[in-house]
Structure 1
Amino acid sequence: MSKVCEICGKGPVAGRNVSHSHRVTNRWFRPNIQKVTIKDAKGHVRKANVCTKCMKAGKVTRA
């Protein structure tokens, strides 16, 4: 499954875990992507990978 939102283009971002003793390890911050049924701009019903922030903000018209 794709890790990129089809509405806003948000994708994974690299970062670092820093422990209490300041040991540093690499990690990923991944957006919460869900597959939902939407109506696109032409009015067609289709499935899309959308992040939950776009769903909560109302950027998606669900079918």
Structure 2
Amino acid sequence: MSRRCAITGKGPAVGNNVSHANNKTKRRFLPNLRTIRVALEDGTTMKIKVAASTLRTMKKQSK
């Protein structure tokens, strides 16, 4: 299963690990995904993966 936010589409970003000797090796920055239940219009629920930052934005918009 892909590590991608179902709402915003945020996925892994690529960067470098940098040692004290300034050696660089590739690494991935993974999004902070949370599994939540979403109620659909027909009354059923569905589990989706959403980034924590997206949940914060959704909570902020609902106020």
TM-score by length of 2: 0.77
Q: Which residue identity lines up with residue 3 of structure 1 in the other structure?
A: R
Pairs within 5 Å for 1:4-43: 4-40=4-40, 42=41
Tell me the distance in 2 between the aligned counterparts of 1:13 and 1:5.
13
**How far has the Cα of 1:21 moved from its partner?**
1.0
| Percent of aligned pairs sharing the same letter | 36
Correspondence 1:53 to 2:53: yes
Instruction: Describe the superposition over 1:2-31 as per-residue Cα deviations: whole angstroms up to 9, x where unpaired.
Output: 300000000001110111210111100000
Let me know the Cα RMSD of the aligned residues.
1.8
Structure 1: 5+ residue runs without aligned partners? none
Shift >3 Å, 4+ stretches: none
Structure 2: 5+ residue runs without aligned partners? none
| Count of paired positions | 58
TM-score by length of 1: 0.77
Larger Rg belongs to? 2
- Structure with bigger helix share is 2
